[in-house]
Chain A
């Protein structure tokens, strides 16, 4: 049979590593909630900055909601604005 293997069929991507999937799309039960500092914290850098969707793979819609939630969490001191404070 002259059928090609379908394994290396993925579109060419720069660099290696697998395709990132939006975590909120993959797991529909996962909610974006400003009160859930633990989950939001995984989308922050060590400095407390929001990690771009380009890196985390979060889709645009969820990234928008995520940034709002992070900012809400910051106003009530559940998340830091920055880690560099005296």
Chain B
């Protein structure tokens, strides 16, 4: 079976901590390789704010895997991912053969997005301009 180019973005529970997330990422990479996949890139986005609550959490560790695998292998990888409890969510997407490898862009500025989230709350403070 021809192998295909996939990428999987995994959300890891924040309770795992930096070290735990790294460990789990290593485990997932091993899982992919055990299924006959070849990992070309592992991207650690570290702790990021979620756009909405997932499993009552506000943030999660994001890790992106780029690899080649057969569709059968992907099925097995996904099945195993659903069994891992610290994984909140994941998404697998097939990439075009000629698509450039994922650039490390989204991980760079989590702070700015945070600021956007809190804009609504900050406005109230400014309106209290009563000076004696």
Contacts and interface: CB of A to CB of B under 8 A. Distances in A.
B83 interface: no
Interface stretch (A3-11, A12-20, A32-40): A32-40
B91 A77 contact: no
B11 A36 contact: no
Nearest to B106: A35
Contacts of A35: 9, 64, 102, 105-106
Contacts of A77: 11, 50-52, 54, 60, 89
B78 interface: no
Given A77-B11, A77-B54, 16 more contacts: A34-B93, A35-B9, A35-B105, A37-B106, A37-B113, A38-B106, A75-B89, A75-B91, A76-B9, A76-B89, A76-B91, A77-B50, A77-B52, A80-B51, A80-B52, A81-B52
B115 interface: no
B53 A36 contact: no
A66 interface: no
Interface of B: 9, 11, 50-54, 60, 62, 64, 89-91, 93, 99-100, 102, 105-106, 113
Q: Which secondary structure dominates where chain A touches chain B?
A: loop
Interface of A: 31, 33-38, 72, 74-81, 85
B93 A85 contact: no
Contacts of B53: 85
A33 B102 CA distance: 9
Contacts of B11: 76-77
Nearest to B58: A77
A72 B106 contact: no
Contacts of A72: 91, 93
